[in-house]
Amino acid sequence: MSTTNTAANQNGPITSPAGQPKVGIIMGSQSDWATMSAAAQLLADFDVAFECEVVSAHRTPDRLFDYAKSAKDNGLQVIIAGAGGAAHLPGMCASQTPLPVFGVPVKSSMLSGWDSLLSIVQMPKGIAVGTLAIGTAGAYNAALLAIQVLALHDETIATKLDEMRQTQTETILASPTPGII
Ligand code: RP5
């Protein structure tokens, strides 16, 4: 399957850093990109190479199986899968790869993402999906977890992660009084 490491949304393209993609970001529809672009942006900010694909569990099942079965051999180390509604994508992907899969529930129009959350989080025992929060916070944190996994064996990423967390802490400590920035 051909993959891309540049994805575009209304805010412009997010281009992966050069090199072998380590993180695969898949989503069930183009409509999920508004949410999942938060994951791509954080990986780009951390200089972690990624690839992005629209892969639907129910509309393109063969494409999903091809992607998941070949992901490890293709050099990926983590997969982030976002979907909305009856969100089978993360679980079905996890069933076809030994790589860690982080699932992002996309906020749906009818049930505000409760459907997405419950269908991703309630994996029966035996196949694991790490489930994140609904929406862009979940997509961002999925990328953060992917970065934390990679940091176990990459000192450069680990150092950036430490710096990011330190900056976050200092930002709060610099303005601890509500309403006074
Ligand atoms: C799911 O159905 C996708 O993940 C998306 O969140 C939802 C709606 O898809 P579209 O109708 O916008 O293509 O498969």
What DSSP string runs through 51-76? EEEE--TTTSHHHHHHHHHHTTTTT-
- Written as one letter, the residue type at 125 is K
Task: Assess whether the C-beta atom of 60 lies below 6 angstroms from ligand 1.
Answer: no
How large is the greatest C-alpha to C-alpha distance in the chain, in angstroms?
Answer: 54
The confidence score (pLDDT) of residue 8 equals 54
Protein residue whose Cα sits closest to atom 7 of ligand 1: 84
What digits encode the pLDDT tens for the residues 54-81?
999 999 999 999 999 999 999 999 999 9
The confidence score (pLDDT) of residue 181 equals 83
The confidence score (pLDDT) of residue 52 equals 97
Task: Assess whether the C-beta atom of 84 lies below 6 angstroms from ligand 1.
Answer: yes
The confidence score (pLDDT) of residue 2 equals 39
pTM confidence score: 0.93
Give the confidence band of 166 by pLDDT, cuts at 50, 70, 90. Answer: very high
Q: Where are the beta strands (DSSP E) in the chain?
A: 6-9, 12-15, 23-27, 50-54, 78-84, 101-106, 130-131
What digits encode the pLDDT tens for the residues 79-120?
999 999 999 999 999 999 999 999 999 999 999 999 999 999
Whole-angstrom distance, CA of residue 166 vs CA of residue 148: 15
Task: Assess whether the C-beta atom of 85 lies below 6 angstroms from ligand 1.
Answer: yes
Domains of the chain: 11-174 (3.40.50.1970)
User: Which residues, in sequence order, are bridge partners of residue 78?
Assistant: 23
Closest atom of ligand 1 to CA, residue 116:
6
Question: Is 29 among the annotated ligand-binding positions?
Answer: yes
Protein residue whose Cα sits closest to atom 2 of ligand 1: 84
Question: Is 32 among the annotated ligand-binding positions?
Answer: yes
Distance of CA 38 to the CA centre of its chain: 8
**Average model confidence (pLDDT) across the chain:** 94
**28 phi, psi to nearest 5 deg:** -75, -20
CA angle 144/145/149 to nearest 5° reads 120
Task: Classify the phi-psi angles of 53: left when phi > 0, otherwise alpha if psi is within -120 to 50, otherwise beta.
Answer: beta
Give the confidence band of 9 by pLDDT, cuts at 50, 70, 90. Answer: low
Question: Is 66 among the annotated ligand-binding positions?
Answer: no
